[in-house]
Amino acid sequence: MNIQMYQPREQFQLHERSALELAGTTLSVERVLGILRRQWPLITAIIGGALALALVYLLTATPMYTANTRILMDTRQTQVLDKDTGVSALIDPGFVDSQVEIITSDDLIRSVVRRMKLTEDPEFNGSDPGLLPAIIGKVIGLFGSDGPASKERIERGTVAAVENNLKVERLLTTYVLSASFRSRDPDKAAQIANEIADAYIVGALDAKYQSTKRASEWLQQRSAELREQATASDRAVQTFKSQNNIVGTSRGLMNEQQLTDVNTQLIQARAATSEAKARLDRIDAISDKDLAQPTVTDALNNPVITRLRAQYLDLSAQYSDWSARYGKTHQASVNLANRMEELRKSIADEVKRIGDAYRSDYEIAKSRETSLEENLKNLVSQAGSTGQAQVKLRDLESAADTYRNLYNSFLEKQQQAMQNQSFPISESRIISTAVKPDRKSSPKTVLSLIGALFGGLCFGLGAAFAREMLSDVLRSPTEVEDEIGVKCLGVLPAIGSKQMGASRSRGSRSTDGAPVERSGQLSRYVIDHPFSRYAETMRNIKVSIDLARLSREVKVIGIVSSLPKEGKTTVSANFAHLTAFTGKRVLLIDGDLHTRSLTRELDPTAKTGLLESLKDPQSVGHHIRRSAETGLDFLPSFVVSRMVNSADIMASKAMADLLALLRNEYDYIVIDLAPVMPVTDAKAISHLMDAYVYVIEWGRTTRTALQESMSSSEGIQKKVLGAVLNGADPKMLKRIEGYKGSHYNAYYVEGA
């Protein structure tokens, strides 16, 4: 079976990754569950702390009671003194929001404070702030104090305290304001809430009264000014009319009326003249005709002429009869003819008289027409000369009318303002009076506990994920394999005196009878606890090495770590004991010439060892100590003082010769080497090693240190057979491996 147990150089690459880059790794469901399994104590501790803080708060916080009153913005109340227009007034939403600021204003709160004497109340004047505020105040007082508080400062503090306990808001989109006040005393909460509402109503009335009063005073002053201006304008109009001989009538200016009347009279006069002229011409036309003809009578239609003509016709008929009977010379006929002539003359005289009368009427009408024409010409001339004056007059009259209208308008507004001042009405009214609350409003026990639980859960999860994401140490085989690209051979739990139990040393002795182990119980933990997880993980390491031996020679195995105190010495000793206990020939060499920790633990009395064997490889058997119980051979290291050329010794030809000799004698040669980062011994001997087992301290060794140590030696990189996490917290390990089920550790017997 050809199993490749390490990565070639071209496939083995170390990437420098920061904690922030690791934090950006994609989270999967499995990884989240793993984080929760590993960090649930932290999450639980934070949740418990949050609940404890919530309980402390609930126990120390002063119970507060909240009373609520509601105020309605109603503009219909202001329409009592106004005429009902049939249209309801709408309130601007900004007006309602402005009332919130008025209620919470300093002036209104100060009036309530003074009326109720809240500056003497310990709840608001700062003399009894409560436990937590008192502590905070003491801490702040350490950094300086302004001395004793003045009355003004106490009042400002009281106003601020009342404002902090007052909450005013608009209810949705309605015209209702909700004012809530918090206090330790429920009666006091209701009383102060009602006082604030009353102060707001009274303040609104007073503000309206003051506003109408100022408006009335201004309107009165302005009305007096407008009255004077209107009077002056009227006086200017009359003066201008007097100066320009302009007289006004009910129908307009007198000259305009005269011009109209004269023009009308002239038209009538011309008609009368034409009529008189026509009658005169008619009289003149018929004067030369026989006046006894019917046409004359018809033309004149005069009753005198008609009567005379009738008499004339009667006489003419009688004359004709008598002339025919008695002759024309008869005295009777002559008398009739004379009488007819007299009638004819009478008709002529009447026609002449009528003609004279018509002529007189014509002359009179003509004279009147001429007079009216002269008057019309004079009036027209006069109207043309006063045209500019009339233009200015109209301007003066317009200004006078404007001032008069303004005066009347302001006078009306003044009367309304005086009425409003005497009968002010507010747009607001209280629709819900604050009553004594029957239960406390804060602290809310259930809500506080739920909030603490939820907040603690959030902070706990955040802390857990931050701890995992920002952690620079390794805790799982997957992290090891992802970080350095080699297989993790197992996770060794931490072992100590509690895990050791009461077992005693079995008195192993060396080949010359000297004890190999006396107090080194940790180094033989796998022998004392063969069914423990620690021992089983060691067996897994041995199995991995045995699989690698199927494809290549793996006899010389170096146990290394990045830094000191990572447990490589304990791992080396236990691995060697376990392998030797199976019947294999195993040699354990203390290759750390700097600390010789393995020698101090297994054979602290040794006076010879590796250095003497390097001088004479054939005498190595005299320096090896053997365990009578497990059959493990141990080659200690003994130096009088720390050596400066330890790396040269480890990489020397003598070491190569010694290892070549030992290869023929042993199946496994396990060398506990010095850490990689502090010294170069492990790097120097890498060419003599067949494989390395890299020990990483669980939860302690940082990724940066691991990357630096691995990248510093190409020889170690090529020959790393696998890594092992050492010193894992058993409890944490159970949480990490919780996904394996509760029966996973059933095969392990830690106390056996």
Can you give the CATH number for the domain in which 607 is found? Answer: 3.40.50.300
Select the more confidently predicted residue: 468 or 602: 602
Of 449-463, 464-478, 481-495, 503-517, the range with the lowest mean pLDDT is 503-517
Residue 419 pLDDT > 80 = no
Judge whether 414 lies within some domain: no
Same domain, 284 and 376: yes
Higher per-residue confidence, 234 vs 615: 615
Whether the predicted pLDDT of 724 surpasses 90: yes
What value does the mean pLDDT take over residues 676-683? 90
| Residue 507 reports pLDDT greater than 90 | no
pLDDT over threshold 70, residue 215: yes
In a domain, 582, yes or no: yes
On whether the CB atoms of residues 119 and 127 are closer than 8 A, the answer is no
> Are both 32 and 167 inside the same structural domain?
no
Residue 295 near residue 309 (C-beta atoms within 8 A) = no
Query: Same structural domain for residues 47 and 106?
Result: no
Are 91 and 35 part of one and the same domain? no
The vertex-381 CA angle with 377 and 384, nearest 5°, equals 140
Tokens matching residue 418: 């005086």
Q: Give the per-residue pLDDT at 3.
A: 29
Q: 341 lies in a domain? A: yes
Asked if the structure places residue 394 within a domain, the reply is: no
Backbone angles phi, psi at 385, to 5 degrees: -75, -25
Strand 633-635 to 586-590 pairing: parallel
Instruction: Give residue 23's pLDDT.
Output: 42
Tokens of 367: 């004279």
Count of structural domains, the chain = 4
**Is 121 in contact with 155 (CB distance < 8 Å)?**
no
Would the pLDDT of 582 be above 80?
A: yes
Q: Are residues 82 and 193 in the same domain?
A: yes
Q: Tens of pLDDT along 725-746?
A: 998 877 776 766 655 655 556 5
Q: Which residues form the domain of 140?
A: 65-208+427-432
Least confident of 118-122, 505-509, 610-614: 505-509
Question: Could you give the residue ranges of the DSSP H alpha helices within 386-507?
Answer: 387-422, 445-469, 477-484, 497-500
Q: Label residue 143 by pLDDT band (50, 70, 90).
A: low
Q: How far is CA 148 from the centre of its chain?
A: 40
| Same domain as 203, residue 138 | yes
The token pair at 194 is: 């009602």
Q: Which helix (H) or strand (E) holds 672?
A: strand 668-672
* Residue 275, in any domain of the structure: yes
Are residue 55 and residue 71 in the same domain, yes or no?
no
Among 639, 647, 643, smallest CA distance to 675 is for 647
CA 279 from centroid of its chain's CA atoms: 105
Distant-in-sequence, close-in-space partners of 187: CB < 8 Å, separation ≥ 6: 436
Residues 614 and 640 in one domain: yes
Query: 43-52, 346-355, 508-517: which has the minimum mean pLDDT?
Result: 508-517
From CA 668, how far away is CA 584, in angstroms rounded? 8
Say yes or no to pLDDT of 510 above 60. Answer: no
Sign of CA dihedral 705, 711, 712, 714: positive
Looking at residue 89, what is its pLDDT?
52
* Confidence check: pLDDT of 398 > 70: yes
pLDDT tens-digit series, residues 346-377: 877 777 788 788 788 888 888 888 888 888 78
Q: Is residue 545 part of a domain?
A: yes
- For range 142-163, the mean pLDDT: 77
pLDDT for 21 beyond 50:
no
Say yes or no: 487 and 615 in one domain. yes
- Residue 576 forms part of a structural domain: yes
Helix (H) or strand (E) holding 307, with range, is: helix 303-326
CATH number of the domain encompassing residue 176: 3.30.1890
pLDDT tens-digit readout, 282-328 = 777 776 665 555 555 555 567 777 787 788 788 888 888 888 887 77
**Strongest mean pLDDT among 185-194, 487-496, 697-706, 708-717:** 185-194
Give me the chain's average pLDDT, please: 79
> What is the arithmetic mean of pLDDT over 399-426?
74
Q: Do residues 752 and 717 lie in contact, with contact meaning Cβ atoms separated by under 8 Å?
A: no
Give the SS3 label for residue 424: coil
Give residue 172's pLDDT.
86
408-423 CB burial, b ≥16 within 10 A, e <16 = eebeeebeebbebbee
Over 50: is that where the pLDDT of 191 sits?
Answer: yes
Question: What burial class does residue 676 get, using C-beta atoms within 10 Å of its C-beta: 0-12 exposed, 13-18 middle, 19+ buried?
Answer: buried
On whether both 133 and 76 belong to a single domain, the answer is yes
Q: Is residue 752 part of a domain?
A: no
What integer is the mean pLDDT of 550-554? 91
> What average pLDDT does range 435-460 have in this prediction?
88
Q: State percent of the chain over pLDDT 70.
A: 79
The tens digit of pLDDT for each residue in 62-100 reads 888 999 999 998 766 555 445 444 444 566 777 888 889
Which tens digit of pLDDT belongs to each residue from 685-714?
Answer: 999 999 999 999 988 888 888 888 888 888
What mean pLDDT do residues 623-632 have? 88
Same domain for 69 and 57: no
Q: In the sheet where 166-170 sits, what is the strand order?
A: 166-170, 176-183, 65-73, 428-432
Closest CA to 606 of 529, 518, 702, 534: 518
* 204: CB partners within 8 A, 6+ apart: 102, 426, 427, 428
Residues 583 and 650 in one domain: yes
pLDDT of residue 573: 93
